Amino acid sequence: MLNGKTAIVTGSTSGIGLGIATAFATQGADIVMNGFSDADLIESTRARLEREYGVRVCYSSADMSVPEEVRRMAKLAHDTLGKVDIVVNNAGIQHVAPIDEQPDERWDAIIAINLSSAFHLVKAVLPGMKARNWGRVINVASAHGLVASPFKAPYVAAKHGLIGLSKTIAVEAAEYGITSNTICPGYVKTPLVEQQIADQAKAHGISPENVIRDVMLAHQARKRFVTVDEIAALAVFLSTDAAASITAAALAVDGGWTQH
């Protein structure tokens, strides 16, 4: 479905991002991976995607908190793969603490990586998308882009902002055949969520099991974590021509959590 397309997927060395990058590769898209992990593991993953799916895959170590590095990643994609058709802004970090205990530097880092990086990347690739009259921007926010939770002020603020940015991109770029949508997952069992479980257990003084049952999944109607494959399948669909009229949407994939 995506043969001939090129996608940048930020935060794609593990978790949701890797799932999306893999799903794109299965559909024939060339990929720019990005994120932090063991260098040998990143290279083996990159090579495996190329080998198994017959696509081109390159890697950028761009620090998403540094605008110039984000721009260099976009240039790498153009220089190596020729163009950028699809951008998935997935990179994200988290810190759990009450507002009056949130370190200033954690606020700045979370806003920079979870929100500002998306602006800088879209700004860099949008002219090319406009010139080709086709493009897809997919922003991975969170159910916390739709509702708030305590102890997550910078994360909630960034994810709400990401939805607003996505809607603005959508209305500005619609006439060029470009769509912009936000996926808002509920809790997905990723390394980031594993860390949140530990952080919330410490913050609330309860066991990790109680965090899962009584905090994370308390309002999730299906009482299970969302899967990476579910998020990746939606990202693939939003990147196809069948989704050409879906834009400015904030799509909850949360097992009903935000309806409580």
Q: What would the pLDDT profile of 172-227 be if each residue is shown by its tens digit?
A: 999 999 999 999 999 888 776 788 788 878 888 998 888 888 888 887 788 888 99
Tell whether the model's pLDDT for residue 67 goes beyond 80.
yes
Domain ranges of the chain: 6-188+227-255
CATH of region 6-188+227-255: 3.40.50.720
pLDDT above 70: percentage of residues in the chain: 100
Cα 131 to Cα 134: distance, rounded to the nearest angstrom: 8
Please say if 53 is a catalytic residue: no
φ, ψ at 183 (rounded to 5°): -95, 130
Cα 90 to Cα 35: distance, rounded to the nearest angstrom: 10
pLDDT of res. 41: 96
Split at pLDDT 50, 70, 90, the class of 141 is very high
Q: What would the pLDDT profile of 71-123 be if each residue is shown by its tens digit?
A: 999 999 999 999 999 999 999 999 989 999 999 999 999 999 999 999 999 99
Rounded-to-5 percentages of helix, strand, coil across the chain: 55, 15, 30
pTM: 0.93
CA distances from 146 to 105, 158, 164 (A): 24, 11, 11
Q: Which of 53, 155, 176, 187 is catalytic?
A: 155
Asked if 120 and 71 touch (Cβ cutoff 8 Å), the reply is yes
Q: What is the DSSP letter of 235?
A: H
* Token duo for residue 56: 């081109």
Burial zone of 74 (CB within 10 Å; 0-12 exposed, 13-18 middle, 19+ buried): buried
Between helix 228-238 and helix 15-26 the angle, nearest 10°, is: 50
Burial zone of 209 (CB within 10 Å; 0-12 exposed, 13-18 middle, 19+ buried): exposed
